[in-house]
Amino acid sequence: AAPRLAWPRRGMETTLKAPEKSLADQIKDAEEAARELQDALRVAFEGLADLRERVHSAEEVAGDRHGDNLRMEVSDVLRMQTMALGEMAQTVQHFPRRWARLEINTSQRKALLLEVKARRARNVEQERMQST
């Protein structure tokens, strides 16, 4: 598959839509979503602490059929949830890198625009000198 471009190519500018909200409002929305995630993680930590207390008795009776079944069930759920939490953490860790790339791309676009304007000015100046 072709790599995804950070910004559309020339002539594809019309595919970008104007934001429905201001960027400041969108940042506020992202902050609220981050707070909600933080609250959800706090609840997850509390649930894990409670689970630790509840499975303590199952750990003490290792070898008991019911205790072993409970431990296997809890182990499977925890393994899947740990993987999901790891993926979420990795996603969140990428946010600052994406913001940095946006800044770099903005700087690159500005430099390219300035270069194009300078080239046009030189061409106009050369045409003016040739016509005289």
Nearest-10 Cα torsion for 109, 111, 117, 118:
-160
pLDDT at 42 over 90: yes
3 state DSSP class of 1:
coil
The pLDDT of residue 39 is above 70: yes
Mean pLDDT of 35-50: 95
How far CA 15 is from CA of 9, 19, 110, in Å, comes to 10, 12, 20
Contacts 24+ apart (CB under 8 A), 93-102: 101/6
pTM: 0.57
Q: Report the distance separating Cα 30 and Cα 83, nearest Å.
A: 24
- The helix, strand and coil proportions of the chain, stated in percent and rounded to the nearest 5, come to 80, 0, 20
Q: Is the dihedral of CA 2, 11, 100, 94 positive or negative?
A: negative
pLDDT confidence of residue 119: 92
pLDDT digits (tens, 9 = 90+) for 73-106: 989 999 999 999 999 999 999 988 888 777 777 7
